[in-house]
Structure 1
């Protein structure tokens, strides 16, 4: 390519001039154009940047306004939450003061006001008050004294009682006018007129005030070394506890509302103390406090603690109750129990109750390391039932009805140790989204919690280590829902640590559902019951399935099967009466341990499923029948005694069969004769039984039989359904109970019926269903060994 062609090609590529017709531009002109273009680009970029900054500033201002609005909303919400917390805390404090008999909280102070405002009708002008004080030869003004203090000093000086806030200065402030020491001597005769009772209340208040003052002064005169020692602190705590326990009594005396049933023992105690008969005073105090207190006795055990001082209760209370010490140093008595329940199922019951709550923990700073105080959101508390509020206030509780009983805590009469109540927060009670119904759900929950923490070491071992000689462990659980799986996990864990201990499992529930539930739910309940029967009966020493509704209830039993309160009451009668022998003190009073009962009806160690039955009767009617039989025997010159033989029909028939739901299908099938292998019976009352308590025909052809008789009747307290038993009348009534645990071939029939239903179900996996059916078959065969071949005909009879 020549030079001319290259020049022509360069000319073609050169851009034409935009603003000038010049064919050739100077370098300075090109530089000026470049700078102009650069400045234009920079100005455009600067303008775009300013626009972005303006938009950002506007967005920040808008965000600041929104943040201020949100901050104001949070401030208002925090203020509202703080106000609600203060109101809840004030209401809780008022309830606590009312329960403990303390005076009510004073009204809140107004801004700029000191102390409680004085009512206008009780106030006195300043000049007039000065004149009245000078007339009484009192100083008109004291240093630092306010008008209210000056008025109170004047009212106290003149002895007027128009100012309602004036109380006596003593360990327990009271509006009762105290009497001199020479007038404190009381009389055993309780006055009936109003003036006489008021003077008696003044005498009692004066005597208790004098005793508390002397007690406090004596403790204050001790040396600092004695005060700081452990016995010294215990002595001071005892004085404080006695003072707090007397506050409800002072409150009732101020209201002149102390019934004679309490006033008479109190007068007896005070008179014995004034006459220096301190042993008699202590005995009177025991009869009063144990017989009338709402704690520490349970629904049934309450009557066992009430007995004359010269007699010893036949029941050893230490078996089911443990002693403890509250934070204030007082003794407590709580059940040896461990209760698991879902979130919300405890009702109004608190984990830390009145026995163990500490006033020092009320104002604990829980702010932690955060600079600001946390905002705590609390769910609305469940209000206690009227029955519980009356018990806390020491009043006569109203009668309970199925409509007023919402939770099992509504009719509970005991205080539990905080470690006895364990809430499973993973599930809510009656939750439709996550129902606690399937057996495997309970087992998975137990395994999950067991991986996180050792439940036996955390929950059970502290109670077990307090027992000197533990008979065994009793487990009460429903078996037709997820609790069956939870209990199965517990039993497997218990067998690892307590392999040789007797473990009785009471399986509660409808066990198959009623006709009002859906078919799917009934099948699910049958599956749960079958799994529980297969697992719990294998791991337990004794397994007793109990249905909610008896098969054929007697005429005197009006049981509402839809009310858990009614169902629980009947189950408590059966369970408590059947095991009464294990809590008696001596064999002479009919004592029989759990091992003794178990050895009677499960002599082979393989028949672990037992049938629970009972009969209930009026003790007066039984006494009349017994007297008539004795008279007839004396007249004829012979008596009859019950002996067992190879004829099982001679065994006593019970009225109430609490065994599991009858799953057998086909009423036309021929039934074989039921054979009884063994039975343990417990009688409470004058039942017509043999006097010999030893087993009969243990090595003969008849069933092994052992009876334990206890003189204690079953008490029906005000927490028991009054309309359920048409037996006896009046308050404090008691009934005679005759119960028994039986192993017989009827158990095999029921187990086989359950096994046939499970075999036809498709809700369980094939392998698991086959394993369960084989286990149930093996269990049923244990009740055929040595008796028949397991056929359903009468050929073996």
Structure 2
């Protein structure tokens, strides 16, 4: 057993996680002739429903604000217990029940309940993440926080101190780890780690930092990966933009010493490639792209261990990416690959797996990074089509020129989909030099799987083929997770942009932490650029 426990913190995260769980549910096979390459025990836990039937539910704890769950109930068809609440109460008097107007379930959810054909979802019909959810959760997984209300105009959950105070109050009253996390940990045979999806530009950022502090107290050596989700800042008033950036700066400063790996995700402000069409104002759309990237780049952590070459775990991958022990922030990128004359046979196994003549996937390599030498630029890992690692942060410090060279310390590349002819150059071409002039080769690790990304009816039609038609069949996806020197420019710019907006008592600590993060990406390498002004 190598279980992963998931924590979902907030509305942004729950949108992403819902796509993630829908994909995991689609990998279950019920035909003896088709065996899934995914080890379902990694993310799902066995149990018993109220009628004694066996259940299989996600190993996850879902936190959201009042009103954030939509129509999702704590008790569902697997665990619904019909009883008279008044009869079981210790209060001898007459009970008066006050109920809010219930939210009507979406037509999609009704179709799942009745077994009828599902209607097509749209940005207009998806009101909550539960509207496109296809999975049953254990009642212990659902944790509603009533102290704040979703989208409140009176007290929105966006300031740093709100998350800190909320966690402190809840933990003092309940001991959140004992109540919510520990039951899932104790039933795991050999936990490989904890993955956390959380906003890092709102109050959930501080809630997450306090949560991880407690996790470290209890489970000191457990790998903890956090996928830090960010909302768009383009077009926001300056005050709102600064608040989001300050939250992110504080989150990175505190999480860098607590989390094993931090993967920030944000939609790029640049135009997306022509094969991706999404509504940037739709959480359903944006979270779909995030989820496809996260789910694909972590696929190797849940593949069956019989595939020894491409099966791994969070701890091992942390060690591969964090070369010098101080590089805990990783950049993530992705490229969707158009299906190549393939047909869907119902088991996520594509026929005709080899590329058609003359066709190939985008190269992982190109002339992008590494030091200049007598022969010019050496070859190195190239960026993929969509950079989700907050590339707009390069623009935050106008006083500093962005480094032209990007040195990659370590990179994990994944390709999922039909088998392909090798179209990349060998890893030996990716040689560069550190500050001492010693030859240093970026450590590049390739993981592949024939398991394509499932295009479910709960997933928005955001991908297009070369004819601009909607892609509805399983897709191949390339991803990259890398630790590289671009973090120096991003963190330095972030520090310069927000340091004066942080309270005086915290300014020095946050500034020093961000400077330390940047220093951790200079070890063994000199970019030759200006590190920016100190404030």
Identify whether the pair has TM-score above 0.5, normalized to the shorter chain.
yes
Matched-pair contact (CA < 8 Å) for 2:86–2:95:
no
Partner of 2:78 in structure 1?
355
Corresponding position: 1:593 with 2:332:
no
Q: Which residue of 1 aligns with 2:239?
A: 520
CA contact (8 A) 1:546 1:659 kept: yes
Partner of 1:726: 464
Could you say if the C-alpha distance between residues 673 and 789 of structure 1 is closer, same or farther in structure 2, counting changes exceeding 3 Å? closer
Alignment match of 1:704 (pick from 429, 443, 467)? 443
Answering whether residue 511 of structure 2 is matched by residue 782 of structure 1, we say no
CA distance in 2 between counterparts of 1:700 and 1:305 reads 47
Contact 1:342/1:425 (8 A) holds in 2 = yes
SS in 2 for 1:539: coil
Q: Map 1:277-288 to 2 at 5 A.
A: none
Trace 1:377-416 onto structure 2 (pairs within 5 A): 377-416=98-137
Secondary structure of the residue that 2:229 maps to in structure 1?
strand
**1:621-680, Cα deviation, whole Å (9 max, x unpaired):** 69798453699xxxxxxxx99999876643243001001252324499463311111100
The counterpart of 2:392, out of the listed 662, 670, 687, is: 662
Report the 3-state secondary structure (helix = DSSP H, G, I; strand = E; otherwise coil) of the residue aligned with 1:459: helix
Distance 1:775 1:630, change over 3 A: closer
Pairing 1:571–2:293 present: no
Distance 1:671 1:298, change over 3 A: closer
SS at match of 1:392: helix
**Deviation by residue 1:432-489 (Cα, 9 ceiling, x = unmatched):** 2221110111011101111112111111111011111111100000011100010000
Q: Any conservation in 2 of the 1:748–1:781 contact (CA below 8 Å)?
A: yes
CA–CA distance in structure 1, aligned partners of residues 365 and 471 of structure 2: 35
Contact between 2:406 and 2:486, CA under 8 Å: does it hold in 1?
yes
Q: Equivalents in 2 of 1:653, 1:435: separation in Å?
A: 37
| 1:612 corresponds to | 332
How far apart in 1 are the matches of 2:378 and 2:175?
A: 48
Structure 1 residue 782, shift from structure 2 partner? 1.0
Deviation per residue, 1:561-612 (Å, 9 max, x gap): 1100001100110000000001011234621212232222212221010000
Equivalent in the alignment of 1:773: 511
2: CA distance between counterparts of 1:691 and 1:589? 19
Distance 1:730 1:657, change over 3 A: closer
Cα 1:614/1:482, change in 2 over 3 Å: same
Aligned to 1:121: none
Where in structure 2 are the equivalents of 1:182-331 lying within 5 Å?
Answer: 298-306=21-29, 308-331=31-54
Structure 2 CA distance for aligned equivalents of residues 687 and 771 of structure 1: 49
Aligned residue for 2:328, secondary structure, equals coil
Structure 1 residues 352 and 696, CA gap change in structure 2 (3 angstroms): farther
Larger RCO of the pair (alpha carbons < 8 Å, separation 6+): 2
Between the aligned partners of 1:745 and 1:613, the Cα distance in structure 2 is 15
Tell me how far 1:758 sits from its aligned partner. 1.9
2:410 matches 1:678: yes
Measure how far apart 1:338 and its partner are: 0.6
1:343 maps to: 66
The answer to whether residue 222 in structure 2 is matched with residue 501 in structure 1 is yes
For the structure 1 residues 307 and 333, does the alpha-carbon distance in structure 2 shift closer, same or farther, using more than 3 Å as the test? closer
Provide the secondary structure at the position in 1 that maps to 2:158: coil
Contact 1:549 1:561 in 2 (8 A): no
Deviation at 1:790, TM superposition (A): 5.3
Equivalent residues of 1:387, 1:397 under 8 A apart: yes
| Partner Cα distance (1:453, 1:326) in 2 | 26
> Rg larger in 1 or in 2?
1
Indicate the SS of the match to 1:597.
Answer: helix
* Partners of 2:230 and 2:265 within 8 A in 1: yes
Query: Counterpart in 1 of 2:453?
Result: 714
Deviation at 1:695, TM superposition (A): 10
Match of 1:479 among 178, 197, 200: 200
**Distance (whole Å) between structure 1 residues aligned to residue 224 and residue 439 of structure 2:** 29
Relative to 1, partners in 2 of residues 1:768 and 1:691: Cα closer, same or farther, differing over 3 Å? Answer: same
Q: 1:358 to 1:670 in 2, by over 3 A?
A: closer
Comparing 297-306 with 573-582, which one deviates more in the overlay? 297-306
- Cα displacement string for residues 738-771 of structure 1 (whole angstroms, at most 9, x for unaligned residues): 1010111111100000011123x2x322231111
The equivalent of 2:348 in structure 1 is none
Q: Distance in 1 between the 2:174 and 2:428 partners?
A: 45
Residue from 443, 459, 467 that aligns with 2:180: 459
Normalization by structure 1: what TM-score? 0.57
3-state SS, counterpart of residue 323 of structure 2: coil
CA change 1:316–1:660 in 2 (3 A) is: same
- Pick one of 751, 755, 762 that aligns with 2:495: 755
- 1:506, 1:357 → 2: CA distance? 32
CA shift for structure 1 position 731: 8.8
Q: Distance in 2 between matches of 1:329 and 1:421?
A: 21
1:541 aligns with 2:260: yes
Shift of 1:791: 2.6
- Which among 580, 583, 586 is matched to residue 302 of structure 2? 583
Alignment RMSD: 3.1
* SS of residue matched to 2:458: coil
Report the CA distance shift for 1:522/1:688 in structure 2 as closer, same or farther (over 3 A). farther
1:398–1:362 CA distance, 2 compared to 1 (3 A): farther
Change (3 A) 1:404 1:498: same
In structure 1, C-alpha distance between the alignment counterparts of 2:429 and 2:302, rounded to whole Å? 24
User: C-alpha displacement at 1:355, in angstroms?
Assistant: 0.8
Alignment of 1:52-201 (within 5 A): none
Check 1:529–1:694 CA distance in 2 against 1; reply closer, same or farther (3 A cut).
same
Aligned to 2:476: 736
Give CA deviations for 1:376-396 in whole Å, capped at 9, x if unaligned.
111111111111011111111
The structure with more helix, counted as a fraction of residues: 1
Change (3 A) 1:630 1:574: closer
**Structure 1: which 5+ runs fail to align?**
1-294, 632-639
Deviations 1:531-563 (A, max 9, x none): 111112221100000003464411111121110
Do the aligned residues in 2 keep the contact of 1:345 with 1:429 (CA within 8 Å)? Answer: yes
The corresponding residue for 2:209 is: 488
Aligned mates of 1:384, 1:495 — CA distance in 2: 39
Select the residue among 367, 376, 379 that pairs with 2:97: 376
- Kindly provide the CA deviation profile for residues 225-250 of structure 1, in whole angstroms up to 9, marking residues without a partner as x: xxxxxxxxxxxxxxxxxxxxxxxxxx
